[in-house]
Amino acid sequence: MTDSAGLNGMPPDVALWRLLSARGIEASLPRLREESALDDSLESMQVALSHHPLHARAIRIDHPRELTAIDLPGLLQLKAGHWVVLRDCRRRHAVVEGADGLRRMRLDELAPLLAGHGLETSADLPAGAGMWPRLRALLLGHRRVLLQFALASVLLQALAVATPELTGRVMGAALPNDAESLLRLLALATVAVGVFSGAFGRLRQRLVLYLLTRVEFTLRRGLLEHTLRLPFAELQKRSLGWLMQAFYGIASARAQLAERILAAFVDGVLALGFLALMGVKLWQPTLALAAFALSMAVAAVPIARAQARLQGEEVDAQASQRGYLTELITGIRVVKAAGAERAVHGLWRARFSRELAFTLKKNRVGLWNDVGLQSLRQTASMALLIWGGYAVLQGDIGVGTLFAFVLLAEAFLGSLLNLLGTYLQIAMVTRQLAPADGLLGIEALPPRRPAPAGSGGGAPNVAIEMRDVWFRYAPDAPWVLQDYVLRVAPGEKHMLRGPSGSGKSTVLRLLAGLYAPERGSVTIGGREPSGTNLRMLYVPQFVSLHAGTIMDNLRNLSGNAPIPRIFEVARQTGFDSGVAGLLMGYHTLIPQGGLSLSGGQRQLLALTAALASDCGLLLLDEPMANLDTLLQARVTALLAASPATIVSVGHT
């Protein structure tokens, strides 16, 4: 398809294939077509890219300049309907890849051809032993931004080094000779240096803001993806507050580090440069100042360790407080109904007071560094001025040399304090990142590769088998299952019956891959549940919905089933009748947990999503517990007619 400027777009499958190639991902175009139900919609493109180690985000483009902020390469849709790959974009020009290959265009020439939206892609979180190796890999992945930051820092460094030398020479010539013109020149030069320093400093801050925002987004997104692939048993060992702290820690670390971690190298080079220039001018006081600076650094280390220890205790207390507060707000209806407001408020207040106590202790210790190091710096500066004054009066050094040396000493001490501050921040941030680092240290399960859409989960002839299974929830807990055996034929509708506590729900969780047996084996089509490509859906007895619209929850639970399919199944189950009575219909917003809906409505929503899904295996825990007799009959008939294999739980 060709637009008015002769730019040939590509169909969705070819555009995706070219994008993957640009990302260095080998893919077969025929297989891409086979696995993906592609049309010109952004959603279908995102689903297709989810099968690869890439993350795709829909973007809206309202101004040509916004193209320069896109992570490259990206996809842009033309008004004519087809797609082009954005390979490069700088200021006024862009390089796009269409059906005819690469083409360089001006942004004002390209923008009128675009439909106004596209897809921005970014790679997965890099592999590594913990948080810091991954962070380093992410920073190195933005080499162009790092290069710009380095250039701006070098220019600032040059200005910082030149200013004391220039000032010293001018003062040395102006004061003894009463040369006012040189002083005016020095004033103008100082203003110019200030303007240039401000401009380069602003550029450096913008680069840092851009880079850290990108890094934080990738870290948090990657951490969530990693967490979702962790074994369920591992997640059960950790509290809600601890899991939340893992994500809050990344945002807090970004706010604290800001440009420190990037500027640390520059500050180190600056400190050495200033020290070298000082040594050239006056080597004896330089050695004395270096020894004094070393003592400052040594004194800061134990204080940093104490702060880091208190930071770790504060993080633990903060995780406990946040987790309890989240659970309290989520269950606020039960609290108010029970009249337990004062009791739960007292429990939260105790946790919050403990967190504040550690925060106060940490900040008090930090005052020794903040105030103490600044006091030592001022003491060193005054000592240099007093010594220099005597040296000038005795004729040992000139006024210009003294001014230059004092300015260099001030700059050296400033760079050193910045380095010490960075060390302190990293020591504390490491403790803040400990929960995230702990999650990343747990080996995640391999991602399941989704079966092709429309295949019934890709397993119409898959058998389920549990052989001699032993399972308990903890090493010192009683056995829930002992020598348990289960065989379910493909397409069979199998009901697990028994009294409460007999292990029926545990069987479903083992089949879903949430837990692994301590002895014996669980296989689906000859594979372990965590390693199968089978599309399966586990619906627990008590369904907790996500905050959003009813349709959002239906699509999430059904694995993004087509909306017409959801409407059709909703009419069959009777869920559509309940939604029709709501003012906003399927767009009705529900809170976290879905508590604005009744237990029966939540259960029917989950069953509707399950039947609308393209899953080959449905695991249903007490699916009829909250439904009336009429709805039970309708849903039972639909489940019996489903081609999926169904294992459900019922009471005797």
Per residue in 428-467, pLDDT (tens digit) is 888 888 888 888 888 887 766 555 444 444 444 568 999 9
In 313-419 the beta strands, taken as DSSP E runs, fall at none
pLDDT value at residue 42? 77
Q: Tell me phi and psi for residue 119, to 5 degrees.
A: -125, 130
How is residue 408 written in tokens?
């260099």
pLDDT value at residue 188? 65
Q: What is the pTM of this model?
A: 0.74
Q: Can you tell me which residue has the tokens 């029926």?
A: 504
For residue 624, the 8-state DSSP code is T
How is residue 201 written in tokens?
């400093």
How is residue 507 written in tokens?
């069987």
On whether the CB atoms of residues 96 and 73 are closer than 8 A, the answer is: no
Farthest-apart Cα atoms in the chain, separation: 107
b/e for 601-611, b at 16 or more Cβ within 10 A?
bbbbbbbbbbb
Please state whether the peptide bond connecting residue 499 to the residue before it is cis, i.e. omega within 30 degrees of 0.
Answer: no
On whether the CB atoms of residues 261 and 421 are closer than 8 A, the answer is: no
Q: Can you tell me which residue has the tokens 């088998």?
A: 465
Span 230-253, average pLDDT: 85
Structural domains present in the chain: 12-123 (3.90.70.10), 131-440 (1.20.1560.10), 456-651 (3.40.50.300)
Comparing 264 with 575, the larger pLDDT belongs to 575
pLDDT value at residue 4? 44
Comparing 574 with 282, the larger pLDDT belongs to 574
pLDDT value at residue 459? 45
Question: Minimal CA–CA distance to 7: which of 92, 115, 91, 89?
Answer: 115
Question: Minimal CA–CA distance to 390: which of 468, 546, 285?
Answer: 285
pLDDT tens-digit series, residues 199-228 = 666 776 777 777 777 788 888 888 888 888
How is residue 460 written in tokens?
């119409």
Give Cα separations from 347 to 217, 315, 341, 478 (angstroms).
34, 18, 10, 32
| pLDDT tier at 258, thresholds 50, 70, 90 | low
DSSP string for 538-549? EE-SS--BPSEE
- Would you give the distance in Å from CA 366 to the centre of its chain? 29
Residue ranges in 512-592 assigned as alpha helix (H)? 550-557, 563-573, 575-580
Asked if the model's pLDDT at residue 348 lies above 90, the reply is yes
Cα 146-151-154 angle, rounded to 5 deg? 120
Which contiguous run of DSSP H or E holds residue 533?
Answer: none
Which contiguous run of DSSP H or E holds residue 397?
Answer: none
Span 639-645, average pLDDT: 89
Amino acid identity at 236: Q
pLDDT tens-digit series, residues 288-337 = 888 888 888 888 888 888 888 898 899 899 999 988 998 888 788 788 88
pLDDT value at residue 456? 44
pLDDT tens-digit series, residues 382-439 = 887 788 778 877 877 777 677 777 777 777 777 777 778 778 878 888 888 888 888 8
Span 259-286, average pLDDT: 72
DSSP string for 30-62? HHHHHH----SSHHHHHHHHTTTTEEEEEEE--
How is residue 49 written in tokens?
């890219």
Span 65-70, average pLDDT: 80
pLDDT value at residue 262? 61
pLDDT value at residue 32? 80
Share of the chain above pLDDT 90, in %: 16
pLDDT value at residue 266? 64
pLDDT value at residue 551? 92
Residue 522 β-bridge partners? 466
On whether the CB atoms of residues 296 and 416 are closer than 8 A, the answer is: yes
Share of the chain above pLDDT 70, in %: 86
pLDDT tens-digit series, residues 611-627 = 998 788 899 998 888 88
Residue 498 β-bridge partners? 651
Q: How many CA atoms lie within 13 A of 314 on its CB side?
A: 21
pLDDT value at residue 264? 67
pLDDT tens-digit series, residues 530-561 = 777 677 889 888 888 888 899 999 998 888 88
d(CA 95, CA 87): 5
Span 352-365, average pLDDT: 91
Q: Tell me phi and psi for residue 487, to 5 degrees.
A: -135, 130
- Cβ neighbours of residue 183 closer than 8 Å, sequence gap 6 or more: 170, 174
d(CA 607, CA 537): 10
pLDDT value at residue 368? 76
Q: Can you tell me which residue has the tokens 């590769």?
A: 449
Span 377-384, average pLDDT: 80
Residue 617 β-bridge partners? 536, 645
Residue 8 β-bridge partners? 2
pLDDT tens-digit series, residues 74-128 = 889 888 888 999 998 887 889 999 888 899 999 888 888 888 888 888 777 787 7
Q: Tell me phi and psi for residue 540, to 5 degrees.
A: -70, 170
The total of other beta-carbon atoms located within 10 Å of residue 208's CB is: 20
d(CA 144, CA 69): 13
